[in-house]
A and B are shown apart, each in its own frame.
Chain A
C-alpha cells in the first residue's frame, strides 16, 4: 500500500491504541453535538407542552409521506456507510469507493426531498417572518413551531452538507488505496459522524411530523 507517511504516528505505541484514540476523540466530539442538538430538542419539548394546540396545528402542515421517505433514505445511507467502513477494515478498495459514492447519492437525495418540502412551506406562507400567514387560531404559536422546524431541520441539513463534503474529501484518498486494515480511522470516524446525523433525524421525524397526528386540529 502506497502511503506518504508512516501508518503509526510517533506518539502512539500500537496501531490499536492509535485507532481507539481516534474513535474515542470522535465520540467526545459527537457528545458535544448531542448536547448542542439536545438544547434544541428540550426547547421544542418545553414550547410544545406550553403551546400544544399551535404545535399540533403546525405538525399537520408537514408532509408525513416526504418525511417518512427521507427517514428511509437516511437509514439506507447508514447501511451503505456501515458497509463502506467494513470494506475499509478489510482493505476492499472497490467496495469502499462504491459505497461511499452510494452514501453521498443517498445524502443528496435526502437534501433534494428536503428542498421540495422547504419550497412547499414558502409557497404556503409558513416560513416565519413578514410573509407568514395563518388563518386559523393561534398564529403566534404556529409561527413558533415553524421557527423551531426550520432551525432544527436546517441545522440537520447543514450537517448533511458537511458530511457530503467530507465524502468528497475521502473519495480520492480511498481511490488511491490510502485506507486498509492497518489504517482506516478517517473512514471509521466519518462513519460515526454520518450515523450520528442519521440518529438526529430519527428523533426529528417523530417529534416534528408524527406527534399529534391522531389529534384533531
Chain B
C-alpha cells in the first residue's frame, strides 16, 4: 500500500490550479486553431496528473496499468474511427449519384 506524502497532493493541486487559470486566460487570446489544441492539451495534462497522483495509478500494479492503457486505447479507437468517417465524407464522389 502506497501512502503519498501530503506535499505531493498539495503540489499536484497547485499545478491543477495554475493550469486552470492558464486555460481560461489562453481561451480569450486570438491564436486561431491553436486555441483548441491548447485547451485540449491542458485538459489532457490535468487528467494525467489526477490519474497518476490523486488516483494512485503511478503506484498501482502492472495489471491495473495495463487495464488503464487498454481502456484509453479503446477510447482512442472510438474517436479515431468516428472522426475518420465524418471528416472524409464527400472526399470521393458516389458512382451513379
Please give the residue numbers on chain A whose beta carbons come within 8 Å of chain B beta carbons, in ascending order: 16, 19-20, 23-24, 27-28, 30-31, 34-35, 38-39, 41-42, 45-46, 49-50, 64, 68, 71-72, 75-76, 78-79, 81-83, 86, 89-90, 181, 191-192, 195-196, 198-199, 202-203, 205-207, 210-214
Chain B residues whose C-beta falls within 8 Å of the C-beta of A31 in the assembled complex? 67-68, 71, 74
- Interface residues of B, CB < 8 Å — how many? 45
CA distance A38 to B77 in the complex (A): 11
Q: Give chain A nearest CB distance to B11 CB in angstroms.
A: 11
Contact present for A49 and B86 (CB under 8 Å): yes
Contact present for A211 and B36 (CB under 8 Å): yes
Chain A residues whose C-beta falls within 8 Å of the C-beta of B75 in the assembled complex? 34-35, 38
Give chain A's interface secondary structure class. Answer: helix
Contact present for B29 and A214 (CB under 8 Å): yes
Candidates B3, B46, B78, B87; contact of A35 at CB < 8 Å: B78
Q: Give chain A nearest CB distance to B29 CB in angstroms.
A: 6
Known: A27-B67, A35-B74. A202 touches B47 (CB 8 A): yes
Chain B residues whose C-beta falls within 8 Å of the C-beta of A30 in the assembled complex? 71
CA distance A206 to B21 in the complex (A): 12
Segment 22-71 of B: residues with Cβ below 8 Å from A: 23-24, 27-31, 35-36, 39-40, 42-43, 46-47, 50-51, 53-55, 60-61, 63-64, 67-68, 71
Extra pairs beyond A20-B61, A39-B78, A49-B87 (7, CB < 8 Å) = A31-B68, A202-B43, A202-B50, A206-B40, A213-B27, A213-B28, A214-B30
